[in-house]
Structure 1
Amino acid sequence: MEDLIDRISAALRESASVKEEMARDPELLAAVARAGEMVVRSLRSGGKLVLFGNGGSAADAQHIACELVGRYMIEREALPAIALTTNTSCLTAIGNDYSFDEVFARQVRALVRPGDVAVGISTSGRSRNVILGMRAARELGAGTIGLTGAGGGELCSVSDVCIRVPSKLTPRIQEAHIAIGHIISEIVEVELFGGEAGGVP
């Protein structure tokens, strides 16, 4: 039991340490602020947010989209956000008829318009289907935000704003990605609806 408690404590401290490092990094903080401003501008002008990733990053895409379509901290109107990981017929048809590399790019070409924002999530920054989805979004005139780990990978080269979590451990990166998603959701609510952080109505 004691060994298990030590392991749990170590994991929590490691996760907290990554976020503390982020809080001290002015470049990362500025990147999150720019991402928040980009999303606010898009939503304010009638655009939408489109998010995608694989595995745990797919779950993060769905989670962040839900915070905008539903609510984050305040009661307000629904906001347009779509996770491209939820339509299994689309994913399997595109994967089968074209290739798995195309599962996001094909959907982006169908759904994204100039002024929208695409958020590509990849802990390594090397997920081919995420990179191709982001390239397609750029070609269509959408803004692009990349969420990745310390290396950044090719994802950063196709992102207008790239947020690199200072870790190489997938679980710690994913924990930080959802924190960033929550922060951007908070920025959106404060800027668009005059909400205040700190409580659900």
Structure 2
Amino acid sequence: MFESAAIGHDFTPGVENYLAELKVVIDTVDIDQITVVMHRLLAAYERGASVYIFGNGGSASTASHLVKDFNSGVNERLVRKFRFYCLNDNVATVLAVANDISYDEVFALQLRNYLRPSDIVIAISGSGNSTNVLNAVRLANAKGVETVGLVGFDGGELARTVDSCIHVPVHDMQKVEDLHFVINHVMVALLKEHLEYWAR
């Protein structure tokens, strides 16, 4: 039944429209915001800081992917390594805190255990209003730790709470997440190239 329902349907206009809209969104992203965050990451690398990153849902997978790209991609040929950690990948800890304390504390509690003043925190939230993300960022701010946000829509509370923000200004969660992935790969590719050049 599914196959017969799909026969003859032309998805081409929809695909073309989605990609055209995505191209428009790309042009709205502030490149300066990306370069500021890249400089912060480079400074964190040079001082041997740990970078803690986290998010919910699709943002959690973006966080996990970014950590993978830095730890196994950028670090590959470097003697001194980036130290990236994804807080939402520790499933047992996340579920224990959510069940025993509150889901709103799943990231903040972990940061209380780990954070040093030299570290950096990266929070990803499409809406910018996830309570557990905001709680963790406020904790980091209170400890004097640098904070970075990747947001969409109007930026939400997160955009106003972090030290640096990369904002994808579109009210469409799929396109926000698309661009967060692209921004991740831009930063990874350019930092890898820069650091490998100086490591020769």
**TM-score over 0.5 (shorter chain):** yes
2:38 to 36, 39, 42: 36
Structure 1 residues 98 and 73: alpha-carbon distance in aligned structure 2, compared to 1, 3 A threshold? closer
Instruction: State whether residues 109 and 140 of structure 1, in contact with CA within 8 Å, keep that contact through their aligned partners in structure 2.
Output: no
Is residue 179 from structure 1 mapped to residue 185 from structure 2 by the alignment? Answer: no
> Aligned partners of 1:71, 1:52: CA distance in 2, in Å?
19
1:160 to 163, 171, 188: 163
Structure 1 residues 73 and 80: alpha-carbon distance in aligned structure 2, compared to 1, 3 A threshold? closer
Quote the offset at 1:108 in angstroms.
1.1
Match of 2:48 in 1: 46
Match of 2:65 in 1: 63
- What aligned pairs does 1:100-115 form with structure 2 within 5 A after superposition? 100-115=103-118
Write the letter of the residue equivalent to 2:172.
Answer: L
Quote the offset at 1:187 in angstroms.
3.7
Is residue 5 from structure 1 mapped to residue 8 from structure 2 by the alignment? Answer: no
> Aligned partners of 2:100, 2:64: CA distance in 1, in Å?
24
> Aligned partners of 1:194, 1:143: CA distance in 2, in Å?
27
User: Which stretches of structure 1, 4 residues or longer, exceed 6 Å deviation after superposition?
Assistant: none
Give the unaligned 5+ runs of structure 2.
1-7
State the identity %: 30
1:141-178 alpha-carbon deviations (Å, 9 max, x no partner): 22111010131111012210011102110000001111
1:31-90 alpha-carbon deviations (Å, 9 max, x no partner): 111111011101110102111000000000001111110004974354210111111110
Instruction: State whether residues 73 and 186 of structure 1, in contact with CA within 8 Å, keep that contact through their aligned partners in structure 2.
Output: no
> Aligned partners of 1:187, 1:135: CA distance in 2, in Å?
30
Write the letter of the residue equivalent to 1:131.
Answer: L
> Aligned partners of 2:87, 2:156: CA distance in 1, in Å?
21
Structure 1 residues 134 and 180: alpha-carbon distance in aligned structure 2, compared to 1, 3 A threshold? same
Give the aligned length.
Answer: 190
> Aligned partners of 1:73, 1:84: CA distance in 2, in Å?
19
Q: Secondary structure at the match of 1:52?
A: strand
The structure in which a higher percent of residues are helix is: 2
Moved more, 4-13 or 153-162: 4-13
> Aligned partners of 1:117, 1:188: CA distance in 2, in Å?
17
Match of 1:16 in 2: 23
RMSD of equivalent CA atoms: 1.8
1:147 to 143, 150, 155: 150
